[in-house]
Structure 1
Amino acid sequence: MIKGKKINIAGFIKKMNDNMIFSRIPYFCKELCYSTDNATSMNNTFSDNSQIGVVFTFSELVNTHFQGAMNAMCWHRNLVGDFKEIVSQLQLKENITEVSIEDLLALQLSEKGNLAREIILHDIQLLTDFGASPSLNLLKNYERDDEFDFISTDVYSFHVDRSPIGTDTFLCTYHGAASDIIPNDQVEQKILIPEIREKLKKLHDGPEAEFETFLKDNFFDLHYQPNPNAQPVNLGLGHLWRLAVDHPEQEVLPCVHRAPVEEGGEFRLLVIC
């Protein structure tokens, strides 16, 4: 895991009133902000899916090993708090705007808005302490790749993440449309589909020995086509996910996922790293 810079959230929050002191957040969030009851968590749409492991704590999320077909880990949570209020007060500066801790703390929020903010701060601190570099994003839309009519390499296409070192992808959507994952046996790598492969060879127009390198350099090999009867799984709101990445030490297949098409101009708020 790539080491992230330590965020002194406590220092920021001490400038606010006593109800926002970060040292109280772990207990506060556990008791009031989301349910961690095991029986409740097991009775969810993910528990019977062999691709997904369901856990009840952050420690389990980061320490449970992927194995077999399981390449997605879900810390299942039922969050309370008004995340929509946070979204309504943040300023979208670009299609993807990174929200700083200072921006978040500067918001004047209701009690439910404060609950939502404390959950986000707690998640950021947990991920940072683990060694990740979380980014809180207010998102209108991602950039589209429409250069070719037979293959796309944007995040709306089912794809896997790749890293030269051992790492995982973490994400949680607090507001707006959530991402999808799909079992590896329900997709086909696009570069192996004959008609797409032939078009890519024409596009390459170079030595055969360099074709595979061309595919990797342009990220074509990361993208997948769902089978006709494929059943994607929506990741839902409030759950913190860990997805397997393609890297040299990986023991399972990387998790195939995609970003959702935004719904009616609604902004998304998510943490990702």
Structure 2
Amino acid sequence: MNDTFSNNKQIGIVSTFSELVTTDFKEEKNALCWYRNLEGDFAAIVDKLQLKENITEVYPKDLVALQLSEQGTIAREIILNDIQLLADFGASPSLNLLKCYERDAEFDFISTDVYSFHVDRSPIATDTFLCTYHGAASDIIGNEQAVQKILIPEIREKLKALHSGPSGEFKSFLEENYFDLHYLAQPNITPTNLGLGHLWRLAVDHPKQQVPPCIHRAPIEKDGEYRLLLIC
């Protein structure tokens, strides 16, 4: 067991998929980890797949069509099983081969891409599930370790200058442009890396949520290495 996970008050550790989907978030715990040491050669799958765009969705039929070694076949069965578990639960999992995400370069004072620490928001009760099988993995931080970017005075003033409507519509302007979802980590904070092979459930901002949403970010990809990520 990773001590970084087990000693982190933000993270709950479970040992089955059933526990992952039925355990409640509570208090500061807004990230649940089905901790796994997976067998199989996931790099072999990445090597066989073709990147068509910076983000290429991989479907079960694409995986089934691959000619793989014994270890590659073990890895494929794990991925297919994870997809099926999530689909049976009612989620819509997507397996992505990733070179990189699109960068937000529109404003020099605030970033709203996934490389920025952010939370997910939904109008309905839902959670974010993700598992990195290969490549760099995502990071999370505790809510007390970050400040919402729109509350930083110099950023807020620039956003007010950018907003052309009535002051009463400023809050809606922030939400419509996703500015309110992004956070700045406090100085000297070390994020928790989610690692490879573990299936995570992260709290999302929605009307029925009982805990603060989980602040997370996509990693900077390693040169020449693709990520293989299951997410929904």
**Aligned counterparts, 1:34-113, within 5 A:** 41=1, 44-113=3-72
Q: Percent of aligned pairs with the same residue?
A: 75
- In the alignment, structure 1 residue 224 sits paired with structure 2 residue 183: yes
Amino acid at match of 1:173: T
Equivalent residues, number: 232
3-state DSSP of counterpart to 1:46: helix
Say which SS state the counterpart of residue 92 (structure 1) adopts. Answer: coil
The answer to whether structure 1 residue 181 and structure 2 residue 136 are counterparts is no
Equivalent position SS for 2:26:
coil
Aligned to 2:211: 252
TM-score by length of 2: 0.99
Q: Residue 229 of structure 1: CA displacement?
A: 2.2
Equivalent AA in structure 2 for residue 181 of structure 1: I
Query: Would you say the 8 A contact 2:14–2:20 is kept in 1?
Result: yes
**In 2, distance between residues paired with 1:188 and 1:59?**
33
Paired with 1:230 and 1:185, the residues of 2 have a C-alpha distance of 11
Post-superposition shift, 1:230? 1.6
Question: Matched residues in 1 for 2:229 and 2:173: separation?
Answer: 33
Alpha-carbon distance, 1:115 to partner = 0.5
Indicate conservation of the 8 Å contact 2:4/2:192, yes or no. no
Q: Secondary structure of the residue that 1:136 maps to in structure 2?
A: strand
1:143 aligns with 2:102: yes
Q: Which has the higher contact order (CA 8 A, sep 6+)?
A: 2
Which SS does the other structure have where 1:249 is aligned?
A: coil
C-alpha deviations, 1:226-254, integer Å up to 9, x for none?
Answer: 00022210000000000000000000000
Match of 1:203 in 2: 162
Aligned to 1:192: 151
Cα distance, 1:155 vs structure 2 = 0.2
5+ residue gaps, structure 2, are none
Distance 2:11 2:143 in 1: 12
Partners of 1:250 and 1:170 lie apart in 2 by: 16
Root-mean-square deviation over aligned CA pairs? 0.7
Residue 107 (structure 2) pairs with residue 154 (structure 1):
no
Give 5+ residue unaligned stretches, structure 1: 1-40
Partner of 1:119: helix, strand, or coil?
helix
Letter in 1 for 2:197: G
Partner of 1:8: none
Aligned 8 A contact 2:131 2:198 in 1? yes
Match of 2:202 in 1: 243
| Structure 2: distance between partners of 1:228 and 1:93 | 38
What amino acid is the match of 2:79? I
